[in-house]
Amino acid sequence: MIKFEKVDKVYKNGYKALTDINLEIKEGEFVAIIGRSGAGKSTLIRTINKMIDINSGSLLVEGVDVSKLTGKKLRKFRRNIGMIFQQFNLVNRMSVINNVLAGFVPDLNIFQSTLGLYPKKYKLKALEALQEVDILEQAYSRADQLSGGQKQRVALARTIAQDPKIILADEPTASLDPVTSRQVMEYLKKINKENNIAILLNIHEIDLGLEYAERCIGIKDGIVVYDGPSSEVNSEVLELIYGDAYNKGE
């Protein structure tokens, strides 16, 4: 489904974020990507929807060469990939349902998008998505009236309403307390299992990532140093990924 072959990424300042990445992600996998800050985790997942361009190598998503996509083809391609961010990316002054419906704007004509006229089928999909993450009762509340955990569930609803085949989650629990973080992870797991959506999760909370994801990819200085079952990640593996930072509890 997703295939990296010898992928490198070097930023303009000369920083090499990814080196010789060779990975294959299958349909329906739930993968946690762990590593120190600056290891290349966010860069890795953001190459998949071409938010970040690779410099060399090959990156295929469902057989499509991502590096060659531009314009309308790139926008169409991104419709199959959901993205969840740490800061939710909601419009606070808008209602919950309108935040979910905003994901359909690229499918509207100019008249519809200007006036916010969404076809009934989109409204039904938005309501179904809100129900799936148990926040339907807040559909007509303003987003700024919600807690952080509720906002992230709305972001999840916006994503699943698009029927994505892949979800990229970039630190989705970083702004949340431990209890709410676990709730969000439960919803991600539910979406993964019930809809067979591949999820790539960049996460700092090691224990949380390993508990919910079946597979773990460990990155150190832009290099994959571990790729295997989460259940087999032990202190030796974590020391390999985090080095001295793991021993110091950082």
* In the chain, % of residues over pLDDT 90: 84
Q: What is the pLDDT of residue 72?
A: 87
Q: What is the pLDDT of residue 117?
A: 85
Q: How deeply is 76 buried, as exposed, middle or buried, from its count of CB atoms within 10 A (0-12, 13-18, 19+)?
A: exposed
Q: Calculate the alpha carbon distances from 191 to 30, 66, 156, 163, 247 in Å.
A: 10, 25, 9, 11, 35
Residue 179, SS3 per DSSP: helix
Q: Would the pLDDT of 9 be above 90?
A: yes
**What number is the average pLDDT over the span 127-131?**
96
The domains located in the chain, with CATH, are 1-80+164-250 (3.40.50.300), 91-163 (no CATH)
Q: How sure is the predictor about 156, in pLDDT bands with cuts at 50, 70 and 90? A: very high
Q: What is the pLDDT of residue 203?
A: 94
Q: What is the pLDDT of residue 248?
A: 52
Mind listing the pLDDT tens digit for each residue in 195-214?
Answer: 999 999 999 999 999 999 99
DSSP output for 197-243: -EEEEE-S-HHHHHHH-SEEEEEETTEEEEEEEGGG--HHHHHHHHT
pLDDT tens across 54-104, in order? 999 999 999 999 999 999 899 889 989 999 988 888 999 999 999 999 888
